[in-house]
C-alpha cells in the first residue's frame, strides 16, 4: 500500500488554489486528492483548504465549501459590478414556483399531492418542470400507496447554487427567496446555465403562501 508522504504545504496550497480557480464547478476532496502524484491525507487537504479560505478573506472572491465540494465564487456584495459586464436579466420565478420550491426544500421528500395540500391549489406540471430543468429538484423515490406518486427532494446542485453544504444550513423560510435570487444572478457553469428555465407564470388567485403553514 502506498504511503502518504509529508507534503510541501506551500506547494500544496498553490496547486489547490490553481485547480479551484480554474474549475467551473465545486470539486470534492476525493477529486482533489487525484491531482497529486503521491497520496495526500484528506485531513491535510482540509487543513490547507481552510488556510486558503482564510487567506482569501476580505477579497472580492471567496473560497466556499458547498454540498459538492470546494469552489471559489464572487462575494454577494460585489455581484452588482459583475452584472454591469453581463446585464442579462436572470429568470424571475413566479410566486407559485417559489412556494413549491420552499415546500419541497423544508418538507422533503414530498409528493405533488403533499404540495397541493399545503398550497391549497393544483400544482401545474410546468412548475415541477421548471424546478427540474433548473436542476434544483429531482425524483428520489415513490410513496408506496395507490398510484405510487413520485417523491420530490432538492438536489446537491440546489445546495451548491445557494452556497450551502447541507439542508441543515437552510435559512429561515422568509430568507429563501433572497438566496434563490442571488443564486440566479451569479455567474453559473455551463451545466447550470443549460438548466436555466424561463419563469413560470401562474394565476395567484386562491394561492396560499407556505410561510405560515411550514412552521
pLDDT of residue 85: 84
Tell me: pLDDT of 3 over 80.
no
pLDDT of residue 27: 96
pTM of the entire structure?
0.72
Higher-pLDDT residue of 68, 89: 68
pLDDT in tens, 140-187: 999 999 999 999 999 999 999 999 999 999 988 888 888 887 776 654
Handedness of CA 16, 21, 23, 27 (dihedral sign): positive
Locate the domains of the chain by residue range.
Answer: 9-74, 95-214
pLDDT of residue 191: 37
Residue 2 confidence class, pLDDT cut points 50, 70, 90:
very low
pLDDT of residue 149: 95
| Percent of the chain with pLDDT strictly greater than 90 | 61
pLDDT of residue 89: 66
Mean pLDDT for the chain overall:
83
pLDDT of residue 91: 64
Tell me: pLDDT of 188 over 60.
no
Tell me: pLDDT of 114 over 80.
yes
Helix, strand or coil, per DSSP, at residue 64: strand
HSE (side-chain half, CA atoms, 13 Å) at 6? 0
CATH match of 9-74 with 1.20.140.10? no
Least confident of 14-18, 120-124, 182-186, 209-213: 209-213
Mean pLDDT to the nearest integer, 107-121: 94
Q: What is the CATH number of domain 95-214?
A: 1.10.10.10
Contact between residue 202 and residue 96 where contact means Cβ atoms under 8 Å apart? yes
pLDDT of residue 202: 43
pLDDT in tens, 72-100: 999 988 888 887 887 766 667 888 999 99
pLDDT of residue 208: 39
Amino acid at each position: 500500500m502506498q504511503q502518504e508522504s509529508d507534503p510541501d504545504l506551500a506547494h500544496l496550497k498553490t496547486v489547490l488554489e490553481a485547480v479551484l480557480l480554474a474549475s467551473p464547478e465545486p470539486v470534492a476532496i476525493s477529486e482533489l486528492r487525484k491531482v497529486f502524484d503521491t497520496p495526500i491525507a484528506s485531513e491535510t487537504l482540509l487543513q490547507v483548504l481552510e488556510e486558503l479560505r482564510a487567506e482569501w478573506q476580505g477579497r472580492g472572491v471567496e473560497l466556499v465549501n458547498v454540498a459538492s465540494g470546494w469552489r471559489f465564487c464572487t462575494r454577494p456584495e460585489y455581484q452588482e459590478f459583475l452584472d454591469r459586464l453581463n446585464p442579462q436579466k436572470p429568470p424571475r420565478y413566479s410566486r407559485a414556483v417559489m412556494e413549491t420550491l420552499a415546500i419541497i426544500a423544508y418538507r422533503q421528500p414530498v409528493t405533488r399531492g403533499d404540495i397541493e395540500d399545503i398550497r391549497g391549489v393544483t400544482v401545474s406540471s410546468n412548475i415541477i418542470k421548471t424546478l427540474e430543468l433548473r436542476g434544483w429538484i429531482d425524483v428520489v423515490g415513490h410513496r408506496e400507496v395507490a398510484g405510487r406518486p413520485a417523491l420530490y427532494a432538492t438536489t446537491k446542485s440546489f445546495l451548491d447554487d445557494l452556497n450551502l453544504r447541507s439542508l441543515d444550513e437552510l435559512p429561515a423560510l422568509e430568507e429563501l427567496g433572497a438566496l434563490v435570487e442571488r443564486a440566479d444572478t451569479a455567474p453559473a457553469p455551463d451545466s447550470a446555465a443549460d438548466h436555466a428555465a424561463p419563469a413560470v407564470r401562474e394565476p395567484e388567485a386562491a394561492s396560499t403562501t407556505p410561510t405560515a403553514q411550514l412552521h
